[in-house]
Amino acid sequence: MYLRFFAIVTVLFMAVFGQGAERKPNILFIAIDDQNDWIGPLGGHPMAKTPNLDRLAARGTTFLNAHCQSPLCNPSRTSLLFGLRPTTTGVYGLAPLPRALPELHKRVSLPQYFEAQGYRTAATGKIYHDGTRAGGNTKKGDAPEFQVIAPYGGVGTLPPKKLIPPTPMGNHPQMDWGVWPLDNDDTGKGDYKVATWTAEQIKTASKDNPFFIAAGFFLPHVPCYATQKWFDLYPDDDSVLPKIVENDRADTPRFSWYLHWKLPEPRLKWVQANNQWRNLVRSYLASTSFVDAQIGRLLTALEESGQAENTIIVVWGDNGFHLGEKEITGKNSLWDNSTRVPLIFAGPGVKPSQRCTQPAELLDIYPTLIALTGAPTRDDLEGLSLLPQLQDAATPRERPAMTSHNQGNHSIRSERWRYIHYADGSEELYDMQADPHEWRNLAPLSEYATILNEHRKWLPKIDRPLAHGSASRVFTYNKATDEVVWEGGAPSKRSDPIPE
């Protein structure tokens, strides 16, 4: 009788508590800086060689229409890690760092949230804009972003002098690219060290407690150096150059130039005149393949650890990058080249070999990881869980993706259309199915009035001005005078020549 009673109690206990006692899935969180859609799974460049991202995509779901919240490192990462749009925080520039703002100082970030769920958190490389440190949180007694932090990442070894000629608008030291180091030794590169440390963390992670391990890769961010073996993957001729059309900005509003008014990244005109366009493109592709190899090292380490089947992997890029399209290089625009980013999920709860065309946002990563791990939900996150699409890629999403860059400038990206609204009220509209290069602005044509109205309704209801301490790549617009003040300088008028 006693044994039977004990057996019944045991069965009931397992039924009630057994599932909860199962070990939570690990999270491998991989960031790539300035990575646009030039990777195999996204097909942004037909020559891109990324075999490791290809094999990860085969294991999971790739979002073909994923977009950043801001086309710049700090606001993009702040949005992802804190679950709020730039229009909510006012963070649009490289400053302020998020923890410097009173409203974000004590807010629970993504890694802190999973630490509270019992995860061991560890990170190296560029996760926040200031690396893995604290997003500006340096006050004594502040909670760390990660339990374990390694000071690796960045460029790594540098050539004795810049490899390219002086560039306009300040000749910024990061404006450089080419073959380096010359001995084909990658071990001195920051991203190689990031992969080495992260792989070791994966291999030695306890199987008794879940982990949240983050690796932030610097390349293909400038200075864009890669060793010769990665350059050899790509032809040294003009076949490698992206497709462009002459005078591509002729039908775009004047205001589109203000988003990158006086940036250190050179215009297409300069890279062409200085015979640097092909060199830049090959450097970017070579760096992309190098980072892909480092991601491959992490995937191999995970497989060798025996924990691959219980690990959620998410790979994301913080913003895109122009390489001559729209007559510019760099980011800071509201077109696909600047906003479209890699977003791949794999692991438990994710259907393999899916390619999703529904719009998605980096803001969605936070609630999606909560849903995939079964953690308690938060009602203060502005993203949407992508779990429905991870289970069936054809599941419709309830709203488009939105990217913002400084107050009043927003891009709305639905499955078919891109709509852009600038602070002065000027607009652009592109049919991304018929015109994936965004070569023809349809906004002035009356037959698209209904499409414009459908997308205007998604413009943000909250659109904060610049947060206190904002600097670097920020500007304000005075509607009364129709002037723009770029980075606190003298007002710019429409009659001013566009800087070259």
**What residues are labeled active site?**
73, 129
- Burial degree of 162 (CB within 10 A; 0-12, 13-18, 19+): middle
CB 307 within 8 A of CB 313: no
What whole-number distance in Å separates Cα of residue 438 and Cα of residue 433? 10
Task: Pick the closest to residue 476 from 254, 328, 258 (CA basis).
Answer: 258
Q: State the residue for tokens 């991601």.
A: 295
Which of 466-480 are b and which e, b meaning 16 or more Cβ less than 10 Å from the residue's Cβ? bbeebeebbbbbeee
Q: Report the relative pairing of strands 311-317 and 343-346 from DSSP bridges.
A: antiparallel
Half-sphere exposure of 436 (CA within 13 A, CB side): 12
What whole-number distance in Å separates Cα of residue 350 and Cα of residue 389? 9
At 361, give phi and psi (nearest 5°).
-130, 155
Q: For the chain, give me the number of helices (H) and strands (E)? A: 14, 21
Residue 212, H or E segment: strand 211-217
**CA pseudo-torsion sign 23, 24, 25, 29:** negative
